Each structure stands twice: as structure tokens, then as C-alpha cells.
A and B are shown apart, each in its own frame.
Chain A
Amino acid sequence: MRLQNNIQLDNNKVAKGGYALDIKLSKRGNALIAKFYGELDDHTVEYARQKIENEMIKPAVKNIILDFSNLTFMDSSGIGMIMGRYKKMEKISGKVAIACSNPQIIRLLNISGISSVIPLHPDINSAVKTLRGE
């Protein structure tokens, strides 16, 4: 069944507290990497916003990479969250990059015009290299 892969959520990707989204944060140089697992919608977006916000205000963070490689769903709530982080990073002359290979999410990013402001990369390594200016 084609649908099963599409709608079933991997239990490992369900965050504690019942949110169908988990975010793992790490650093590479001065870049904060936020890896998204699960679904990003109006219900989970506040969790995403707070989790990233707490870390991005630290002085060592210059740039942010949003890794949507393991995100299975996003709607326009995610677009608002991305634009919000972009505006905040812009104020401190920081950059935002997106790593994403999910065609449906890439389409959403294109429709919303995000991809004309924030560069899209197929994976994290490509995003890191670009932010480093390599």
C-alpha cells in the first residue's frame, strides 16, 4: 500500500509530550544545526520556534542550518517559522540555510518564495560549505 509509508509516523520520531515533531540541535563551527524529525504544522511549530530560539540567542551562533531531511510533513505554519528565524538572523548579520530533499517540502518552499531568499541545499554538508564560503 502506497499510503502506509505516507501517513504512518515512525514511533522513534515522535517527541516526548505527544508532539509529532522532534528537533535535535548540534553545532558545526559557528553554525547551529537544527535537525527536524516528524511533522511541522501549526500544532508543532511553537515547539520548533522555542527550541531554536533558546539556542540561537547564544553569542557563539552566527548562522543557522535548518535540516528538513527527516521531516515528513510541512505546511505554511513552517514557512512562518522559517521567515521569523531568517528575520532575526538578518538583524545580527547571520545567515540561514536549508537542507531538504523532500520534493513536496521543496515545492512548498518554492511556492512561498522562501527559496529565493534562503538557499536550499540537498544535504547538511553542502549547506555548511556554502555558509563557510567554500
Chain B
Amino acid sequence: MKPINEMTLIFPSKSSNESLARVVAAAFASQLDPTVEELAEVKTAVSEAVTNSIIHGYENKIGEITMHCKLYSDSIEIAVTDKGKGIENVELARQPLYTSKPEMERSGMGFTVMEAFMDKVEVITEVGKGTTVVLFKTFKFLAG
């Protein structure tokens, strides 16, 4: 299936860019006129993925994050990519409440929230090379 529109946003892994990324993703998704609730879900999931890249991928060092969004007639696909340290055990990382940084008061709910708010979440990762999290969501009203 060919996307009807695409966009890429590249930004340094500064926490101040978390809000930029989620607002851009929501603004792009709004071309399909989804509900306010669906947009809020997209914003939250993007925020989780970008935060993961900043805190876990780059461990608060500055690196490059790429957000590539593809829009289809009734859905969106958002890929958030970093070139950070990668995830050793994806299954463990996706467990609710699991965090590799409990000392930072992380909740360990990032992937759980992404999974709850999106239809599908894919993780492509290689230790030492980086991680891509792909978020998929169909907008129900548009899908009928």
C-alpha cells in the first residue's frame, strides 16, 4: 500500500524536543481529521518512543533522532529511530513495569503505554547500532 503523504523530522536528542516531535506527529495525523482522543493517543505514544531514544538509546548524550511518518487513507505509521546503544533484550524491555533505570524514577511503562494507545508496536534493534520503534494506528471513524 502506497502512503498518501510522508514526512521526516530529524532532531537532536534533547528532552525539549519531545513536545516538538509529538506535536508535529499530531499535526501531520490531523490531515485525516481523526478525533481529539485519537490525536492524544498518537501524541502520547510518540512522546514515549522519543523519550526512550533520549534516555535509553543515547543515555542523555546528544545524538540524532529521526521520526518518519507515513499517512495512509485511514491510518498512520510513525517510525522513531535512534543510532544509540540498542536494546539487549526487547522482550524484557517491553514488560510492564520493567525499567533499566529504577534510580531515575522511571515507571517502566513506556512500551505498555505505546501498545495500549496504538494498534501495533514493532521494535527493530541492534546492540551498538540503534533502535527503531514503529507505531501503527488506524483511525476508527475513518475506517468505518
The answer to whether A7 touches B107, judged by C-beta atoms less than 8 angstroms apart, is: no
Given A5-B36, A80-B105, is A43 in contact with B43 using a C-beta cutoff of 8 Å? no
Which interface class (under 10, 10 to 19, 20 to 34, 35 or more) fits B?
Answer: 20 to 34
In the assembly, what is the distance between CA of A102 and CA of B104, in Å? 26
B31-81 with Cβ < 8 A to chain A: 33, 35-37, 39-41, 43-44, 47-48, 51, 54-55
What's the nearest-Cβ distance from chain A to residue B55, in Å?
A: 7
Chain B residues positioned under 8 Å from A103 (CB to CB): 37
In the assembly, what is the distance between CA of A81 and CA of B22, in Å? 20
Chain B residues positioned under 8 Å from A2 (CB to CB): 30, 33, 35-36, 39
- Any chain B CB within 8 A of the CB of A119? no
Chain A residues positioned under 8 Å from B48 (CB to CB): 75-76
Taking chain A's interface residues, is the majority helix, strand, or loop, or is none over half, making it mixed? helix
In the assembly, what is the distance between CA of A112 and CA of B115, in Å? 12
Q: Which of B18, B40, B113 makes the CB contact (< 8 A) with A43?
A: B18
Contact with B along A70-99 (1 / 0, CB 8 A): 000111110111011000000000000000
- Any chain B CB within 8 A of the CB of A67? no
What's the nearest-Cβ distance from chain A to residue B48, in Å?
A: 6
Q: Which of A6, A20, A74, A104 makes the CB contact (< 8 A) with B19?
A: A20
- Any chain A CB within 8 A of the CB of B110? yes
The answer to whether A108 touches B113, judged by C-beta atoms less than 8 angstroms apart, is: yes
The answer to whether A77 touches B27, judged by C-beta atoms less than 8 angstroms apart, is: no
In the assembly, what is the distance between CA of A68 and CA of B119, in Å? 27
The answer to whether A75 touches B105, judged by C-beta atoms less than 8 angstroms apart, is: no
Which interface class (under 10, 10 to 19, 20 to 34, 35 or more) fits A?
Answer: 20 to 34
What's the nearest-Cβ distance from chain A to residue B52, in Å?
A: 9
Chain A residues positioned under 8 Å from B104 (CB to CB): 80
The answer to whether A3 touches B30, judged by C-beta atoms less than 8 angstroms apart, is: yes
Q: Which of A3, A42, A74, A104 makes the CB contact (< 8 A) with B37?
A: A104
The answer to whether B113 touches A75, judged by C-beta atoms less than 8 angstroms apart, is: yes
The answer to whether B16 touches A18, judged by C-beta atoms less than 8 angstroms apart, is: yes
Q: Which of B26, B30, B107, B116 makes the CB contact (< 8 A) with A80?
A: B107
Q: Which of A3, A77, A108 makes the CB contact (< 8 A) with B26?
A: A3
B residues sitting closer than 8 Å to A (CB atoms) are 15-16, 18-19, 22-23, 26-27, 30, 33, 35-37, 39-41, 43-44, 47-48, 51, 54-55, 104-107, 109-110, 112-113, 116
A residues sitting closer than 8 Å to B (CB atoms) are 1-3, 5-7, 18, 20, 39, 41-43, 49, 73-77, 79-81, 83-84, 103-104, 107-108, 111-112
